[in-house]
Structure 1
Amino acid sequence: MKGKIFLFTLFLLAGFSLYPENISSVLSQAEQDWLQDHNEILFVSQTDYPPFEFKGEEDSSDGMSIELIRWIATEFGFKARFRHMSFQQAQEAVLNREADALTSLFYSEKRDERFDFTPLTWEVPALIFVQSDRPDIRSLEDLRNRRVAMQRGDYAEEYLLQKGITATILPTDTFAEAVNLVIAGKADAVIGDKQIVLYHLFSSNLMDKVKSVGDPLYIGQNSIAVVEGNSLLQSILKEGVILARENGIFDKIDRKWTGVRYSDSRTWLEKNQTFLIIAMISILIIMGLIIFWILQLRSLVAKRTDELKRNELHLQSLFDSVPDLLWLKDSKGKYLKCNNRYRQFLGLDESRIRGKTDHDFFSKDKADLYSEYDRIAMEKGEASYIANIQYKNDGHGETVEVIKNSLHDEKGNLVGILSIAHDITERLEAETFLDTIVENIPNMIFVKDAETLRFIRFNKAAERIVGYSAEELKGKNDYDFFPRDEADFFTRKDREALERTEITDIAEEPIQSRDGQTKILHTQKISIRNKEGKPVYLLGISEDITERKQIENEMRKTLKEKEILLKEVHHRVKNNLQVVSSLLSLQSEKTKDLQALEAFAEAENKVKSMSLVHEILYKSENFDRIPIRKYLENLMNHLREMYVGRNIDIAMNAEDIDIQLENAVSCGLIFTELLSNSYKHAFGESESGSVKIEVRRIPEGKIQAEVSDNGCGLPDDFNPDVTASMGIRLIIDLIEGQLEGEWSVKKDKGTVWIFTWPNG
Structure 2
Amino acid sequence: MEFSYAKGLVGQAAESQHAEVFTTSEDDSFIRAEKARAADLATGLLLPIIVDGMSEAVLEFYTTEPVEIDTQLQKVLESVAIQIGRLIERKRHLERIEKEKEFINKAINSLPGLFYMLDEQQNFVRVNQNLIDSMGYSREELEEMHPLDFYLEKDQQRMIEAVQQAFIEGKATLVSQLRTKDGKLPWYYLTGAHFHQEGQDFILGTGIDITDRVQAEQELERHEQLLQSIMDQAGAVIYVKKKDGTFLFVNDEFLKLFGLQKEQVIGKRDVDIIDEDDVQIMRESDLEAIETGKPVELEETVQFKGEKRTYLSNKVPLKNVEGFEECVCGVSTDITERKQAENQLRESLNEKEVLLMEIHHRVKNNLAVVSSMMQLQAYESENEEVTSELNNSQSRIKSMALMHELLYQSKSFSKVNIAENITELLEHISNSIQPKEIETELNLEPVDLNINQAIPCSLILNELLVNIYKHAFPEGQDGKLHIALTENDGNVVLKVRDNGVGLPDDFDLEDPTTVGLRLINVLTKQLEADLTYSSDEEETEFELIFKKMKIKGSASNLVE
Per-residue CA distance 1:503-554 (angstroms, 9 max, x = gap): x3635322122x1211112233334466769637543333222122212211
Secondary structure (helix, strand or coil) at the match of 1:562 reads helix
Q: Map of 1:231-270 to 2, 5 A cutoff?
A: none
1:454 to partner: Cα distance: 1.5
Which of 517, 520, 538 is residue 731 of structure 1 equivalent to?
Answer: 520
- AA matched with 1:731: I
Which of 325, 338, 347 is residue 548 of structure 1 equivalent to?
Answer: 338
- AA matched with 1:614: H
On the 8 A contact 2:186/2:209 being kept in 1, the answer is: no
Which of 482, 492, 495 is residue 692 of structure 1 equivalent to?
Answer: 482
On the 8 A contact 1:388/1:398 being kept in 2, the answer is: no
Partner Cα separation in structure 2 for residue 365 and residue 673 of structure 1 = 113
Q: Which residue of 2 aligns with 1:363?
A: 166
Pair 531,441 (structure 1): closer, same or farther in 2 beyond 3 Å: closer
Q: Which residue of 1 aligns with 2:226?
A: 434
Pair 613,432 (structure 1): closer, same or farther in 2 beyond 3 Å: closer
1:644 to partner: Cα distance: 4.2
1:369 to partner: Cα distance: 7.3
Per-residue CA distance 1:462-516 (angstroms, 9 max, x = gap): 22223333222111122222233421232233334445777x3635322122x12
Partner Cα separation in structure 1 for residue 361 and residue 333 of structure 2 = 44
On the 8 A contact 1:398/1:423 being kept in 2, the answer is: no
Pair 583,548 (structure 1): closer, same or farther in 2 beyond 3 Å: same
Larger Rg: 2
Whether 2:447 is the aligned partner of 1:657: answer yes
Secondary structure (helix, strand or coil) at the match of 1:674 reads helix
Whether 2:369 is the aligned partner of 1:579: answer yes
Whether 2:254 is the aligned partner of 1:465: answer no
Pair 680,481 (structure 1): closer, same or farther in 2 beyond 3 Å: same
Per-residue CA distance 1:249-275 (angstroms, 9 max, x = gap): xxxxxxxxxxxxxxxxxxxxxxxxxxx
Q: Which residue of 1 aligns with 2:175?
A: 388
Whether 2:558 is the aligned partner of 1:755: answer no
Secondary structure (helix, strand or coil) at the match of 2:380 reads coil
Which of 530, 548, 552 is residue 742 of structure 1 equivalent to?
Answer: 530
Pair 439,690 (structure 1): closer, same or farther in 2 beyond 3 Å: closer
On the 8 A contact 1:326/1:420 being kept in 2, the answer is: no
1:730 to partner: Cα distance: 1.4
- AA matched with 1:747: S
On the 8 A contact 1:703/1:757 being kept in 2, the answer is: yes
- AA matched with 1:512: Q
Per-residue CA distance 1:721-748 (angstroms, 9 max, x = gap): 3464321221122112x11111101015
1:572 to partner: Cα distance: 0.3
On the 8 A contact 1:742/1:755 being kept in 2, the answer is: yes
Whether 2:423 is the aligned partner of 1:633: answer yes
Pair 399,724 (structure 1): closer, same or farther in 2 beyond 3 Å: farther
On the 8 A contact 1:521/1:545 being kept in 2, the answer is: yes
Partner Cα separation in structure 2 for residue 723 and residue 444 of structure 1 = 68
- AA matched with 2:472: A
Which of 283, 307, 322 is residue 517 of structure 1 equivalent to?
Answer: 307
On the 8 A contact 1:466/1:512 being kept in 2, the answer is: no
Whether 2:369 is the aligned partner of 1:566: answer no
1:756 to partner: Cα distance: 0.9
Pair 746,392 (structure 1): closer, same or farther in 2 beyond 3 Å: closer
Pair 531,682 (structure 1): closer, same or farther in 2 beyond 3 Å: same
Q: Map of 1:20-39 to 2, 5 A cutoff?
A: none
Q: Which residue of 1 aligns with 2:509?
A: 720
Partner Cα separation in structure 1 for residue 513 and residue 296 of structure 2 = 65
Partner Cα separation in structure 2 for residue 339 and residue 445 of structure 1 = 53
Q: Which residue of 1 aligns with 2:389?
A: 599
Secondary structure (helix, strand or coil) at the match of 1:555 reads helix
On the 8 A contact 2:316/2:330 being kept in 1, the answer is: yes
- AA matched with 1:690: K
Per-residue CA distance 1:666-714 (angstroms, 9 max, x = gap): 1111111100100011010111111111110123x11010011010111
1:562 to partner: Cα distance: 0.9
1:348 to partner: Cα distance: 9.8
Partner Cα separation in structure 2 for residue 530 and residue 536 of structure 1 = 10
Gaps of 5+ in 2: 1-102, 117-127, 141-161, 191-206, 550-560
Pair 573,531 (structure 1): closer, same or farther in 2 beyond 3 Å: closer
Partner Cα separation in structure 2 for residue 622 and residue 516 of structure 1 = 41
1:437 to partner: Cα distance: 2.0
1:453 to partner: Cα distance: 3.8
Partner Cα separation in structure 2 for residue 530 and residue 389 of structure 1 = 37
On the 8 A contact 2:237/2:333 being kept in 1, the answer is: no
Q: Which residue of 2 aligns with 1:617?
A: 407
Q: Structure 2 length normalisation: TM-score?
A: 0.61
Q: Which residue of 1 aligns with 2:436?
A: 646
Pair 343,450 (structure 1): closer, same or farther in 2 beyond 3 Å: farther
On the 8 A contact 2:503/2:535 being kept in 1, the answer is: yes
Q: Which residue of 2 aligns with 1:710?
A: 499
Q: Which residue of 2 aligns with 1:75?
A: none
> 749-758 or 566-575, which moves further after superposition?
749-758
Which of 442, 455, 460 is residue 670 of structure 1 equivalent to?
Answer: 460
- AA matched with 1:739: L
Q: Which residue of 1 aligns with 2:552?
A: none
Q: Structure 1 length normalisation: TM-score?
A: 0.46
On the 8 A contact 1:450/1:535 being kept in 2, the answer is: no
- AA matched with 1:705: L
Of structures 1 and 2, the one with the larger relative CO (CA 8 A, separation 6+) is 1
Pair 686,434 (structure 1): closer, same or farther in 2 beyond 3 Å: same
Partner Cα separation in structure 2 for residue 341 and residue 553 of structure 1 = 77
Secondary structure (helix, strand or coil) at the match of 1:430 reads helix
1:652 to partner: Cα distance: 1.5
Q: Which residue of 2 aligns with 1:89?
A: none
1:393 to partner: Cα distance: 6.2
On the 8 A contact 1:636/1:650 being kept in 2, the answer is: no
Gaps of 5+ in 1: 1-308, 328-336, 350-358, 371-386, 403-417
Pair 675,419 (structure 1): closer, same or farther in 2 beyond 3 Å: same
